[in-house]
A = this chain, B = another copy of it.
Amino acid sequence: MRKSKEEINHNSVGLVIAKNQIINSSLKLDSGTTLKDYNLCYETYGILNKSRDNAILICHALTGDQHAAGYNDATDRKPGWWDNMIGPGKPVDTNKFFVVCPNNLGGCGGSTGPLSQNPSTGTAYGPDFPIITVRDWVESQNQLLEILEIESWAVVMGGSLGGMQAMQWAIDYPDKVKHSLIIAAAPKLSTQNIAFNEIARQAIRSDPNYYNGLYKTKNTFPEHGLKLARMVGHLTYLSDDILHTKFGRELKKGKIEFGFDVEFEIESYLKYQGESFIGQRFDANSYLLMTKTLDYFDPAEKYDGKLSDALKKCQANFLVISFSSDWRFSPTRSMEIVRALLENDKNVIYSEIESELGHDSFLLPIPQYHRILSTYLNKIAVT
């Protein structure tokens, strides 16, 4: 249904059109491959001020894209994935900041990725798209920054894999990040995190419709595998408590049926999550790539595993936020980042938000969480 102007404009950045920026500088990736040129698809909200110092970079997580806020079309049912965070009067206040959200390289939102044409074959990259690291993303985002003629980001922020980018930015370009906001993240994946990612990958790659990643050429899609991968992922985003509160052991039809159809409400919910993800047409090769990016992230690796050494040259101020019931990237993991920053006498504020909503909390309008971000960002905007 078409929305009225009032509906769209109230507290919303309104209708937005994604921009495509062809970047003609070559990009040498961590894997050794060089992209001669590439496209970054991105959205912006708010206005860049005259001194060009009010820009915020929003980094997306595993299944995110450039469409963080507002609507791409008046008939869209849902706004962008972080619409509760970004807009006029919202924590990331578009009356004050110029917000940039690119789709990450290797993604499927419009930036160069597995769906793009491989110049050396003339057909889509598919499974041959090189594996990207968080450092590669920072490099590509820096090329965008230069094209936008902005000297430095007022803020780089993101949740989960997005928080990892915010941290890597502060490490790689100390003079280009004033504030790094690292939300629901970790300095590297735990063994358990990697294991869950591997299960997701196995689910996709063992789907007979995966065809070693060449499913497009067979005009098919590894739907079952990707659905399973999403179900596993989603389950790890939610806490045991919230699952209990929301679904408990409630039965869809009120009684046990002694069969394999959906019986418990939680089964129905998981099925819905898997199917709606398929409905979003997220590319399976992109999903595989992004899980590898997560696995590889470990800024301390170059420094003999010493995170505090990796963070030594940072100049940014840091805000680190975790959520009490997040067992994917628990508060303990965020505290590792905080400790390493404190060992370097860096400016850091840490907050653990009480929430039973698990890892997904970072996407949700939890009052205490939004209040902290509003206060922090308002202070920056004023000074």
Contacts and interface: CB of A to CB of B under 8 A. Distances in A.
28 contacts: A31-B258, A130-B258, A131-B259, A188-B249, A190-B244, A191-B264, A192-B235, A192-B243, A192-B244, A194-B267, A195-B235, A198-B231, A198-B267, A198-B270, A199-B232, A199-B235, A202-B227, A202-B231, A202-B271, A203-B203, A203-B228, A205-B260, A206-B227, A206-B228, A208-B208, A249-B298, A256-B296, A260-B288
A295 interface: yes
Contacts of A248: 191
A335 interface: no
A246 B201 CA distance: 22
A313 interface: no
Interface string A291-324: 0100110100000000000000000000000000
A266 interface: yes
Contacts of A266: 191, 194-195, 198
Nearest to A196: B235
A324 B312 CA distance: 37
Contact of A190 (B131, B232, B243, B246): B243
Most buried by B among A227, A249, A259: A249
Interface residues of A, number: 51
A227 B199 CA distance: 10
Contacts of A296: 256
A115 to B, nearest CB: 18
Given A192-B243, A194-B266, A201 B249 contact: no
A194 to B, nearest CB: 5
A90 interface: no
Contacts of A298: 249
A38 interface: no
Given A199-B235, A203-B203, 14 more contacts: A190-B243, A191-B249, A192-B238, A192-B244, A195-B243, A195-B266, A198-B264, A198-B267, A199-B270, A201-B260, A202-B270, A202-B274, A260-B292, A263-B295
A173 interface: no
Contacts of A354: none
A356 to B, nearest CB: 13
A247 B189 CA distance: 13
A4 to B, nearest CB: 40
Most buried by B among A191, A248, A267, A298: A191
A126 to B, nearest CB: 13
A190 B51 CA distance: 55
Contacts of A32: 258
Interface in A237-269: 238, 240, 243-244, 246-249, 256, 258-260, 263-264, 266-267
Most buried by B among A30, A130, A231, A247: A231
* In the complex, the 8 A-B pairs of residues with the closest C-beta atoms, listed nearest first: A191-B243, A31-B258, A206-B224, A192-B240, A131-B258, A198-B267, A191-B244, A191-B266
Contacts of A30: 258
A270 B195 contact: yes
Contact of A232 (B232, B246, B274): B232
Interface in A24-70: 30-32
A189 B248 CA distance: 10
A327 to B, nearest CB: 8
A274 B267 CA distance: 24
Interface string A129-171: 0110000000000000000000000000000000000000000
